[in-house]
Structures are given as C-alpha cells and as structure tokens.
Amino acid sequence: MAKTITFKETKALQAFEGSIRTLNQHIQLVDRSLLIANKIVKKDAKSKLICEALGCTVDTHPQLNVPCSSIDISRVYTTSRKKIHEQAIVDLYRFFSRYIKDLIEEFMHTDPMPLLQQVCGNKDNTINYAKIISIGDYGKIIEFMANSIFRKFENERSTTKLLDKILSYTKINIDSEVKENALLYLEIRHLIMHNRSLADDNFMTKAHGKLTIHANKKLPINYEMSSSAIKKVCELCRLIDKELVANHMVRERCIVYNK
C-alpha cells in the first residue's frame, strides 16, 4: 500500500536550498583553506615562491610564480578570497532566479489560466499546433510555458521588478524589510558584473545603515558579506514559499513510497 508524506514547501524551495547548502560548503571550505594556506606559506622559510611552498612548480602553476614576501602573499590571497565571494554572490543570484522560474512552473501546474491571462497578451498566450506536437507531453508543455513567462519577467532586467511582478500576481504579503534586505544583496551581483564591484550612488543610498562601504566605494566583498547575502535571500525565499503553500497557490512537495 502506497503512503504519501507531504512537506510544507515546494520542490522549487527544496532545489534552491540544496544549491545553497552546496554553495555554503564551497565558500566555507575554500575561504578557510586559503586563509590557512596563506599562514603556511608565510611561515615557510625555505621556499622562495608560493608555488614551491604549496608543493607545485612554475611549469604547472605559472601564476603562482610569486615571491614569498608577506606583502606579495597577502595581496595574492586577499584577491583570491575576494574572487570566491564575488562568485558566490553571482551564484546566489542565479539560484534565486532559478527558484522564481521553478515557482512559475508550479503556478502553471496548479492553475495556469490566471497567470497566462495576467502576464500574457492575447497573441502571446498561445502555442501553435506544430510546437505542441514537437514538445510532446503535457508536463513538457507546462515547462515550456513557464520558461516563456519567466523570460518575459526577466526582460525587465531588474530583480526588484521581477519580484514585484510575482508578488503582484500572487497577492501575498511579504515583510518589507525582509524583501529589501534580500534585494540589496542581490543587487550586488549587478555591481560585480558591470561596475567592477564598486557601489554606485543609488546603491549607496539603499545601503546606508545596512552595509559599511569604503570611501572609495569599493564593496567589502568577503566571507561575512557572502554569508549575509545567502542568509537574507534564503529568508525571503522561505517566506515566499510558506505564503504560497498556505494559500494553496503551489503544490506541496511530497514523497510517495510503498509501505
């Protein structure tokens, strides 16, 4: 006899949190490893180069052809640690976007018509016969429509507008502070990609009282920042998920097994 166990969350949240656990493990491991390696290299009195201190050669690791002086070592390791946390924030944004896309697919599975009517024009909410045949089964058609709708949202090129459209459609109430804190960290991804990790005037205004930014507008991208970003975005996604499940707008994640 089959038995079903349900969870007060969506598959979208489960997938998101799985990616976050891996991301957290990665940044914690690499950040700590770089910190320890930095200390080891500084104490190595025999080696002249970083590559020698780490047991490799200039031939195999030419970019580690750096003298083992404290100034050079500190610069190299500080740069590497910053790169790790920049990438973590970029990955976080990617996981958040995937969560939103998966939510749209959940809406489509639960009740597709309201979403289609709200976000698609009459010409855009149809699929021609040939496309339906080429896609195949109903589940893949739902996935195709969800991807199309997500691209419409994504064309806003603004995380805030993307999220606002989702919240406007669902009509759920989300704590404004939770939302603003998460969006602040998600916006850092844009500054990393397009502004050399420097804060612009608009971001400086939003970040006032929340983040300490250097006088030269360089963002303090480090372990503390990436950890805080992950925490705030996770808080937002869990809150959205909880509200959607409570309002029966999405399917609860379930496991079916034979007793």
Quick one: what percent of the chain has pLDDT higher than 70? 83
Of 38-52, 104-118, 131-145, where does the model show the most confidence? 38-52
Q: What is the pLDDT of residue 144?
A: 73
pLDDT tens, residue by residue, 42-97: 888 788 888 998 899 999 999 999 888 767 788 899 999 999 999 999 999 999 98
pLDDT tens, residue by residue, 224-242: 999 999 999 999 999 999 9
pLDDT at position 179 over 60: yes
Q: What is the pLDDT of residue 28?
A: 97
Beta strands (DSSP E) in the chain are 2-7, 253-258
Question: Is the residue at 256 inside a domain?
Answer: no
- Domain assignment of residue 238, given as a range: 2-244
Question: Is the residue at 111 inside a domain?
Answer: yes
Quick one: what percent of the chain has pLDDT higher than 90? 50
Q: What is the pLDDT of residue 132?
A: 62
**Residue 67 has which token pair?**
């003298």
Q: What angle do CA 161, 23, 53 make, to 5 degrees?
A: 135
Section 115-144 average pLDDT:
63
Question: Is the residue at 175 inside a domain?
Answer: yes
Question: Is the residue at 258 inside a domain?
Answer: no
Question: Is the residue at 251 inside a domain?
Answer: no
Cα–Cα distance list, 170 to 49, 60, 223 (Å): 58, 54, 34
Question: Is the residue at 210 inside a domain?
Answer: yes
Residue 125's pLDDT band (boundaries 50, 70, 90)? Answer: low
Full DSSP string of 5-43:
EEESS-HHHHHHHHHHHHHHHHHHHHHHHHHHHHHHHHH
Question: Is the residue at 254 inside a domain?
Answer: no
Question: Is the residue at 26 inside a domain?
Answer: yes
pTM of the complete model: 0.86
Residue 214's pLDDT band (boundaries 50, 70, 90)? Answer: confident
Answer left, alpha or beta for residue 212, where phi above 0 means left and psi between -120 and 50 means alpha. Answer: beta
pLDDT at position 113 over 70: no
pLDDT at position 108 over 90: no
Strand, helix or coil for residue 247: coil
Q: What is the pLDDT of residue 111?
A: 73
Number of independent structural domains in the chain: 1
